[in-house]
Structure 1
Amino acid sequence: MRRSSSKPASNNGSKERIEWEMRPGGMLVQKREDGVGAAGPTIKIKVSHGSYQHEITVPAQSTFGELKKVLAQETGLEPQEQRLLFRGKEKENDECLHMVGVKDMSKVLLLEDPASKERKLEQMKRDLGISKACEAVVRVKVEVDKLAEKVTPLESAVHSGTKVAEKEFVVLTELLMMQLLKLDSIEAEGEAKVKRRTEVRRVQNVVETLDLLKARNSNPFSESSNAISVTTQWETFGSGLGSLKAPRPVTSSTKRTNDWELFD
């Protein structure tokens, strides 16, 4: 955190206002003005990162934290993922380069934080697993597409009243169930899990359609029979034959009449 203060200073008998700021590490320095040369002298630092060598130019009074921000653009490593070592010792973000002896063409070692590296490896493995799972789901989807195409002619035949061999429905259902088992065996997460769930529902819907077609194919007049049955029942009730309502009033009335006659 920078703090600024001002002190009057004399120069050829005139007063000049000098701005001061607190640099990281607790050092009080004259505040740098905006404009050309405001950052002061610059130095070039050789940074080793694995098999790569980077030459970074920064202000001589920069901190290691500021150096990390520049290196992030060169290496792709975020500042919090970097560890900077100078003369065998890791440096903190608030330490100034010139205060620890970093000069022009000094060498600094850049290491990736082990925890960050481990997280990246885990993420890479997870992404690879998701990619493989997505590919497996796509392969199943291709097979389901082929099987679903065979359902359409069966549906047309059944609705037109054409008798279809029952094994056609059985074979297609078994093949679809095999694809469903393949989907269940796919270990997926993230995007792959969503795709697998969608394909599972699709297979289930096709199987349900086949079950309905199979039932209708076995009894093509099932709907007509139900209509006739309902109509017959209503006709039976209307005629009074076998109706529970029609005889009761007659029987009840007859009993009451007989009872009154006996009392008289």
Structure 2
Amino acid sequence: MKRSSPSKCVVVNHGVQREIEWELRPGGMLVQKRNAGNASAGPMIKIKVSHGSYHHEITVPAQSTFGELKRVLANETGLEPKEQRLLFRGKEKDDEEFLHMVGVKDMSKVILLQDPASKERKLEEMRRKQSIMKAYEAVAKVRAEVDKLTEKVIALEATVCRGTKVADKEFVILAEFFMVQLLKLDTIEADGEAKVQRRIEVRRIQSFVDRLDNLKARNSNPFSSNNNAVSVTTKWTTFESGVESLRASLHSSTRITQDWVMFD
């Protein structure tokens, strides 16, 4: 709704000058412009606001603006004023328009719509949060499995430290179990903090596989000071996709040397 630009004049009252603004109301009546700050001094009206399947009854000063009505509705609906669109008699109203000047009276009906762009942003934010939670849960499951494997590594380490011989396949099988968890991390799409947690688990698996390498070498040659009898290498490949997940392949080669003493 268009209104004429307010005109101004200066009135002298008891020696004090004050500026008065005038505005043209519908019907051609020129009246003193209302001070928006004093809207609460006027009569109160109750407005029925329809928001989808929800209905609200809002009480506001009769001379409020639609912008002020939006701020009241924000507390009722959770929608920020910039996310709201208010329609009265089938037309959307600007924030600067006054309720009483467009015909809003006591028990008038106003329709509230959510701004489509705002709604899409909220949906996108909701999907992003759901994706993060899904990634958190997936990483947590892997972490629980790695914790179980950690107990087996500790038990295996205690056995080797006691000098008890352990079959090589025990190290190989346990390393493969860690690889399975590593591959699970590869399939997790994560962002933000969830991505950080996934990276932590990748590095933790790395450390345990390296630990198994050392235990295997020690188990094969417990009396060697430099573990030359068994050479175990673990090759880690970092994907260029930025996922930072790793695949590992164990390549073990055993070199056995024997020193023969010749008797005379």
TM-score of the pair, normalised by structure 1: 0.73
Partner of 2:184: 182
Runs of 4+ in 1 over 4 A off after TM superposition: 14-23, 30-34
Asked if 1:41 corresponds to 2:43, the answer is: yes
Residues 34-56 of structure 1, C-alpha deviations (whole Å, 9 max, x = no match): 7xx95311211110000111111
Partner of 1:195: 197
Higher helix share: 1
Distance, in Å, in 1 between the alignment partners of 2:37 and 2:127 is 49
Distance, in Å, in 2 between the alignment partners of 1:22 and 1:210 is 87
Partner amino acid for 1:114? P
User: Which of 111, 114, 138 pairs up with 1:136?
Assistant: 138
Distance, in Å, in 2 between the alignment partners of 1:225 and 1:181 is 30
Contact 2:46 2:58 in 1 (8 A): yes
Partner of 1:29: 33
Aligned-residue offset at 1:162: 2.3
Contact 2:36 2:64 in 1 (8 A): no
Partner amino acid for 2:186? D
Distance, in Å, in 1 between the alignment partners of 2:99 and 2:226 is 92
User: Which of 51, 54, 69 pairs up with 2:53?
Assistant: 51
Partner amino acid for 1:7? V
CA spacing shift, 1:83–1:32, aligned 2, 3 Å: closer
Partner amino acid for 1:159? C
Partner amino acid for 2:122? K
Asked if 1:163 corresponds to 2:165, the answer is: yes
User: Which of 219, 236, 240 pairs up with 1:217?
Assistant: 219
TM-score of the pair, normalised by structure 2: 0.73
Percent of residue pairs identical:
66
Asked if 1:60 corresponds to 2:62, the answer is: yes
Q: How many pairs were matched up? A: 217
Distance, in Å, in 2 between the alignment partners of 1:224 and 1:29 is 94
Q: Which runs of 5+ in 2 are unaligned?
A: 1-7, 26-30, 229-264
Structure with larger Rg: 1
Distance, in Å, in 2 between the alignment partners of 1:193 and 1:166 is 35
Partner of 1:154: 156
Q: Which runs of 5+ in 1 are unaligned?
A: 227-264
Partner of 1:111: 113
- For the residue of structure 1 that corresponds to 2:33, the secondary structure is strand
Contact 2:218 2:227 in 1 (8 A): no
Aligned-residue offset at 1:7: 3.4
Distance, in Å, in 1 between the alignment partners of 2:172 and 2:204 is 18
CA spacing shift, 1:157–1:65, aligned 2, 3 Å: same
Contact 1:20 1:30 in 2 (8 A): no
Distance, in Å, in 1 between the alignment partners of 2:63 and 2:69 is 10
- For the residue of structure 2 that corresponds to 1:48, the secondary structure is strand
Partner of 2:3: none
Partner of 1:121: 123
Partner amino acid for 2:210? E
Partner of 1:7: 11
CA spacing shift, 1:224–1:46, aligned 2, 3 Å: closer
Contact 1:32 1:39 in 2 (8 A): no
Deviates more, 1:65-74 or 1:122-131: 122-131
Contact 1:61 1:96 in 2 (8 A): yes
Q: CA RMSD in A?
A: 2.9
Distance, in Å, in 2 between the alignment partners of 1:53 and 1:67 is 15
